[in-house]
Amino acid sequence: MEKYLTTVTDQLRCKEVRPYVEKELRDHIEDQIEYNVSKGMKQDDAEKAAVKDMGDPVETGVLLDKIHRTKMAWEVIVFTAIITIAAILLHSNIWMERKYSIEFDDGAGAYIFGFAIMLLFYYIDYTFVARFSKIIAVFLMAVCFYLRMFDDNRYSFPCPMFALFRSVVLIDSLMLMYIPVFACILYKYRNTGVKGLIKSVLWMVVPTWYMLYRVGTFGTCLTLFFSMLVLISMAIYKGWFKVNKRVSISVLLGTFVGIPLVSTAIGYLTDTLPEYKRIWINAIFSSTGKADTTADTIRDLLCASKLTGKTAMNAAKILPDFDSDYVLAYISSEFGWSVGLLVICVVLFLLSIMLRISLKQKNQLGMMIGVGVSMVLVCNVVLNVLIIIGAFPRMSTFFPLISLSESNIIVTYALIGIVLSIYKYKSIYPKFVNATFPKVSIEFKFNIKEQN
């Protein structure tokens, strides 16, 4: 049997799938041996008969190799490339209109480097990363804590990898990578009951709280919180924690959504809410925009926008961060609101492909990571659009792949690369894989020779 299994697995070019195929074939052969023995055959004869029934090992291995091959999500690659080229042309046009010299790092460099990062993440096995997920999560939070502890005004840190592009990695951008790591942590807590669910909630609350009250990036906080809340709810619904699904999800949503909304409403009605929160609420439900002149400017630009063509207003001069946070308002003003709507639809279509790829994954770890990555980007699209149309208070956000922010661009490509990695192994990994931390054991052997 061992010779047969070795011959079959040697035909498989993907080394990652060999252990799973070997286990599946071994189980099948052992079941057949047990059946043959029960029919009165001897153990050796039963094993030979079971192996013979499996067919020629080379032919079987070649057939399995055709099934278990790595794949490339060409739809994602093509749409990402199209959006990348369009974004580079857009920002090149912006720089030419402002009569600045177009250098390699003025947009194009970040996009090209980000595309390379995406391909790099494609070649990284996400199951390997899952084994070290807690260490990575602690590292991300430690970096954030360190920078805020030693310098209150330091929201970013220089990275040698990005020296060619004179770039910095923003902490709020880096923390978006926490979501796929959190999905891996959820997977590790499968079948641990209420205790595992409580630990998962703590892994959600701690970084969200810190980003909100210590770093102060409310947009990133909302993205982290909502994405992780969706992931925990999915894990409960799929029975990962072996708890009452309806009760657990109700308690989770009630605690982290219902109670804060009710307490905020009561504080607003009783005038006990802090002034800055009252201004935010008024900004949401008021169309005057008295608290925010930038919101007024965006509203004027959108009202003046045509179906196609440029408006009389110069968005580049009157709108701050027009090429990053409010790039959609700039596009609508310069090229027409139909072009702005087209950009939104194309990016959402790309994200829908990524979400569909994730939800169709047989492997549960890959499915959860992919959904988390998709939620991060969808949340930023929704927040950015809501802020542009004045339906949400102004805060720092970005529109994936379009906003010119080196950190956000690189992180977005890295997230897309993770989805590519998940799709790559869709035919390789079974429903559940081993994501435990590798144990290292050292054995000491002593040879004692007896002396006569």
pLDDT, one tens digit per residue, over 57-71 is 766 766 666 666 777
Supply the pLDDT for residue 47. 76
Nearest to 3 by CA among 42, 45, 46, 61: 61
Q: What is the pTM of this model?
A: 0.81
**Most confident region among 7-11, 58-62, 64-68, 191-195 by mean pLDDT:** 191-195
Residue 147's pLDDT band (cuts 50, 70, 90): low
How does pLDDT run across 100-124, given as a tens digit for each residue? 544 444 567 888 888 999 999 998 8
Amino acid sitting at position 31: D
